[in-house]
């Protein structure tokens, strides 16, 4: 990762502006605003480089393809809305997982994902856009 190309800037910029984990396809779509001819292979290659470089981190939710978000966000977990499919960051937990695991198991990390309905989709927050536009819409 030695050159600062238009494509790389577009990809990293998209991740930084999104405020939520993005899939390679979403990244491709979003980054094309700044780099129209951007190829999907370039997105994948840059994801790998940015991961190695520590700029971004992979977000693995159970049963879902990997998404990517800024690395500097610190430890946190995710909430996936079943209606709009958007993934939201939620705070780290304070649970003592060492105690939760059976005796003899040494816990060095944990992954937690909550599933449910986000405020927007449960009608508790002002709905400006239809709930079912899926992965594509922004949640500010």
Partner DNA sequence: ATAGATGCAAAGAGTTTGCATAGGT
Partner DNA sequence: ACCTATGCAAACTCTTTGCATCTAT
Residues binding DNA (CB under 7 A): 1-8, 23-25, 35, 37-42, 44-49, 65-66
**C-alpha triplet 136, 32, 44: angle, nearest 5°:** 85
Contacts of 123 (CB under 8 A, 6+ apart): none
133 near its own copies, rule: CB under 8 A: no
Report in angstroms how near the CB of residue 111 gets to its own copies at its nearest: 5
Which of the listed partners (its own copies, DNA, none) does 46 bind, with a CB threshold of 5 to 8 Å by partner kind? DNA
Report in angstroms how near the CB of residue 75 gets to its own copies at its nearest: 13
Report in angstroms how near the CB of residue 104 gets to its own copies at its nearest: 3
73 near its own copies, rule: CB under 8 A: no
**Rounded to an integer, what distance in angstroms lies between the CA atom of residue 139 and that of residue 100?**
34
CB of 38 or CB of 47, closer to its own copies = 47
CB 34 within 8 A of CB 13: yes
Bridge partner list, 67: 59
Torsion-angle region of residue 74: left (phi > 0), alpha (psi -120 to 50) or beta?
Answer: left
CB of 45 or CB of 57, closer to DNA = 45
CB of 32 or CB of 57, closer to its own copies = 57
Q: Within 13 Å and on the Cβ side, how many CA atoms surround 101?
A: 11
**Rounded to an integer, what distance in angstroms lies between the CA atom of residue 89 and that of residue 106?**
26
Q: Under the rule (CB under 8 A), what is the footprint of its own copies?
A: 58, 60-63, 66, 79, 82, 88, 90-91, 93, 95, 97, 100-119, 122, 124-125, 127, 131
């Amino acid at each position: 990762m030695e050159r600062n190309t238009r494509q790389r800037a577009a990809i990293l910029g998209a991740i930084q502006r999104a405020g939520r984990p993005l899939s390679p396809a979403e990244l491709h779509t979003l980054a094309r605003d700044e780099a129209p001819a951007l190829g999907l292979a370039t997105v994948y290659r840059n994801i790998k480089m940015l991961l190695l470089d520590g700029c971004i981190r992979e977000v693995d939710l159970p049963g879902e393809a990997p998404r990517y978000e800024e690395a500097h966000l610190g430890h946190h977990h995710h909430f996936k809305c079943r209606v709009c499919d958007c993934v939201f960051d939620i705070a780290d937990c304070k649970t003592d997982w060492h105690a939760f695991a059976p005796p003899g198991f040494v816990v060095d990390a944990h992954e937690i994902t909550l599933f449910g309905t986000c405020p927007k989709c449960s009608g508790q927050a002002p709905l400006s856009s239809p709930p079912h536009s899926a992965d594509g819409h922004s949640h500010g």
